[in-house]
Amino acid sequence: MSHNKLTPEEERVIVHKGTEPPFSGEYDDFYKEGTYVCRRCNKPLFSSKSKFDAGCGWPAFDDSFPNAIKRVADPDGERTEIECANCGAHLGHEFTGEKMTAKNTRECVNSLSIRFIPART
């Protein structure tokens, strides 16, 4: 499988399961219409329609495309890690039960793990 070339910072997050500092990512306060894809393999992950302002410092989504993400128990035993189901890239973590949206789910994603593709107008 061919992957996009990653910068050292993207590799730290995507391959080594790092986290970008809160409120630092390019997509935290970003609300244009389009699709968010995996930065490593270009697989569509989230629609801009599912993005919401969670105030947490990272892009937040309450839904993903069918079979786009894989949920894995985080080594800390507390959280659920989310990965790209296609290439295994680390995206961030999933939180449920917070009642922030009707779907009651928050996919908290590193901007470095995703890339935005604007909707065609």
Q: What tens digit of pLDDT does each residue of 22-80 get?
A: 999 999 999 999 999 999 999 999 999 999 999 999 999 999 999 999 999 988 888 99
pLDDT at position 76 is 82
Torsion of CA 116, 91, 111, 99, to 10 degrees: 100
Consecutive H or E run containing 92: strand 90-96
Check if the beta carbon of residue 25 is closer than 8 Å to that of residue 112.
yes
Residue 111 pLDDT exceeds 70: yes
Domains of the chain: 8-115 (2.170.150.20)
Count other Cβ atoms within 10 Å, centred on residue 91.
30
Residue range 73-90: average pLDDT?
Answer: 93
- Tell me whether residue 84 is one of the annotated catalytic residues: no
The active-site residue out of 38, 56, 84, 108 is: 108
Determine the pLDDT at residue 1.
63
Give 16's pLDDT tier (boundaries 50, 70, 90): very high
Which of 48, 54, 52 lies closest to 33, judged by CA?
A: 48
Encoded amino acid at 61, one letter: F
**The token pair that represents 1 in the structure block:** 């499988």
Percent of the residues in the chain that have a pLDDT greater than 70, as a whole number = 99
